[in-house]
Amino acid sequence: MAVEIREASPVDVEQLKSIFMGNLQTNPSYISHGEVQMGVGELRFEEGDLHGYIAPNGFDMWEKYIREKIEGNDAVVYIAESDGRVAGFCVADIEEDGADPFGMVCDVLVLPESRGGGVGSMLLDVAISWLRSKGIKDIYLESGKDNHAAHEYFERRGFYHVSNIYKLG
């Protein structure tokens, strides 16, 4: 499968929204504190266990988020395409609330039918290269607490677990 990586543009917003929100509908373990903080997801306790759900206005909030990332100066959204179809995407941005600016890989999402073929690695590599080209040394990412397959993948890629996020109920 030949894969091409390109930067997203505003015309991609609706398709990216459909892919991302479709993923949340079928894979709620993807929901992390990031989705909760920006109003895309919400958390509920059921039978003593915490579960993620799409927030009532989650579709609108994510569209606002991705549009800002595509149009902003301190972020980039990359799309992987195979045979003219989107296979996945990645979002990276630069945060300025630390001693030095740092990078965040906000999302790496590969469609199920494209997993296992290196698409995620290609997206992660281009995002890391973009952050490094901006002089960023420290790069972080976050992932939903039950997204274990992603955690294993990120650890294989050299990321390590540094903290847990807690939310007051």
Asked if pLDDT for residue 98 goes beyond 80, the answer is no
Query: Predicted confidence band at 113 (pLDDT cuts at 50, 70, 90)?
Result: very high
Domain ranges of the chain: 3-156
Q: Residue 115: in which H helix or E strand, if any?
A: none
DSSP string, 12-63: GHHHHHHHHHHHHHH-GGG--HHHHHTTSEEEEEETTEEEEEE-TTHHHHHH
Position 77 scores a pLDDT of 98
Condensed to tens digits (0 to 9), the pLDDT of residues 69-81 reads: 999 999 999 999 9
Give 95's strand partners. 102
Tokens linked to 57:
């206005």
Residue of 141, 2, 162, 13 whose CA lies nearest to 77: 13
Strand pairing report for 3-7 and 41-46: unpaired
Asked if pLDDT for residue 50 goes beyond 70, the answer is yes
Spatial distance between the Cα atoms of 98 and 148, rounded to a whole number of angstroms: 28
Q: Is domain 3-156 annotated with CATH 3.30.420.10?
A: no
Asked if pLDDT for residue 145 goes beyond 80, the answer is yes
Query: Predicted confidence band at 97 (pLDDT cuts at 50, 70, 90)?
Result: confident
